[in-house]
């Protein structure tokens, strides 16, 4: 498919998807909670910049299953499939030719550290969804990684504008230990919802648990509700 056609499709479908999920997004914790729990000055989403139980760090710790797959950008592929009209398998070059989004956002790890004001560049999940055109009955995505990790997210969270598949951090290629060449970030959810070394996004018509969600972590993972483990729910 030509680049101009892809761009035209993305622009048209962005609006359709926004309209389809507008009401559901309004009901997510970050928009519905009148008193999000945390401290520090109010962040760009209107929540306290340090969620309850978190401490800020300036270092960026590495947290994963202990296996760092070494996927060169040449070999990297991203498959987006499942409940969509136009499944795709894109190369690095095709990924970089999609509309690029820059953003500054925060990173909250469930092990209680938060790193604030990180500068990212990548492709928004909303634009990737627009490219593949989710079926009307799609409700969630499952993200799969090159290290066998997986994590699930509802579409009303995944389609927020700050959810990105990033390849650049502070103007440099994303380091391998942090998920390079491409990882997902979910600034309004705990960071385990952001798959490092991402290789596949599957659109689902019903929710199912990913790696940590299957092992006692919260399905919803909302930092300002201290929503860490499934038995809190």
Q: Which residues bind ligand MTE (CB under 6 A)?
A: 60-65, 109, 145, 147, 149, 178-179, 191-192, 194-197
Beta carbon of residue 29, minimum distance to ligand MTE (angstroms, whole number) = 19
**Using CA atoms in the order 168, 172, 177, 183, what is the torsion angle rounded to 10 degrees?**
0
Beta carbon of residue 206, minimum distance to ligand MTE (angstroms, whole number) = 23
Indicate which of Mo ion, ligand MTE, none lies near residue 157 (CB less than 5 to 8 Å, by partner kind). Answer: none
Indicate which of Mo ion, ligand MTE, none lies near residue 194 (CB less than 5 to 8 Å, by partner kind). Answer: ligand MTE
Instruction: Kindly provide the b/e burial profile for residues 20-45, where b requires at least 16 CB atoms within 10 angstroms of the residue's own CB.
Output: bbeeebeebbbeeeeebebeeeebeb
Following DSSP, what letter does each residue of 167-222 receive, concatenated?
EEETTEEPPGGGTTT-EEE-TTS-GGGS-SSEEEEEEESS----TTGGGTB-SS--
Strand partners, 145: 198
Closer to Mo ion by Cβ: residue 109 or 118 = 109
CA 212 to chain centre: 15
Closer to ligand MTE by Cβ: residue 133 or 219 = 219
Closer to ligand MTE by Cβ: residue 140 or 199 = 199
Between 186 and 225, how does the x/- string for binding to Mo ion read (CB under 5 A)? Answer: ------x---------------------------------
Beta carbon of residue 165, minimum distance to ligand MTE (angstroms, whole number) = 12
Closest CA to 120 of 59, 74, 173, 157: 173
Task: Please name the residue that has the structure tokens 């962005």.
Answer: 14
Closer to ligand MTE by Cβ: residue 127 or 147 = 147
Tokens of 211: 């790696």
Q: Is residue 109 a contact residue for Mo ion (CB under 5 A)?
A: yes
Tokens of 167: 């390849």
Beta carbon of residue 110, minimum distance to Mo ion (angstroms, whole number) = 5
Indicate which of Mo ion, ligand MTE, none lies near residue 164 (CB less than 5 to 8 Å, by partner kind). Answer: none
Q: Among 7, 52, 63, 176, which residue interacts with Mo ion (rule: CB under 5 A)?
A: 63
Q: What share of the chain is helix, strand, coil (3-state, %, to 5)?
A: 25, 30, 40
Beta carbon of residue 224, minimum distance to ligand MTE (angstroms, whole number) = 17
Closer to ligand MTE by Cβ: residue 105 or 145 = 145
Beta carbon of residue 180, minimum distance to ligand MTE (angstroms, whole number) = 10
Q: Can you tell me whether residue 104 is helix, strand or coil?
A: strand
Binding site for Mo ion (CB under 5 A): 63, 109-110, 192
């Amino acid at each position: 498919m030509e680049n101009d056609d892809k761009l035209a499709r993305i622009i048209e479908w962005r609006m359709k998807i926004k309209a389809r999920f507008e009401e559901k997004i309004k009901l997510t914790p970050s928009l519905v909670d009148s008193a999000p729990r945390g401290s520090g000055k109010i962040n760009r989403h209107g929540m306290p910049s340090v969620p309850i139980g978190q401490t800020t760090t300036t270092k960026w710790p590495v947290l994963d299953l202990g296996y760092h797959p070494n996927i060169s950008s040449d070999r990297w592929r991203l498959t987006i499939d499942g409940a969509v009209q136009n499944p795709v398998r894109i190369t690095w070059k095709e990924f970089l030719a999609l509309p690029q989004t820059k953003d500054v956002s925060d990173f909250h790890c469930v092990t209680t550290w938060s790193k604030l004001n990180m500068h990212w560049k990548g492709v928004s999940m909303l634009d990737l969804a627009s490219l593949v055109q989710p079926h009307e009955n799609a409700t969630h995505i499952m993200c799969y990684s090159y290290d066998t990790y997986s994590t699930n997210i509802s579409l009303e969270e995944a389609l927020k504008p700050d959810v990105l598949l990033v390849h650049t951090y502070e103007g440099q290629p994303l380091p391998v230990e942090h998920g390079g060449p491409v990882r997902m970030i979910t600034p309004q959810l705990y960071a385990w919802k952001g798959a490092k070394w991402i290789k596949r996004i599957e659109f689902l018509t019903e929710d199912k648990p990913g790696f940590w969600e299957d092992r006692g972590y919260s399905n919803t993972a909302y930092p300002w509700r201290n929503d860490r483990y499934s038995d809190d729910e």
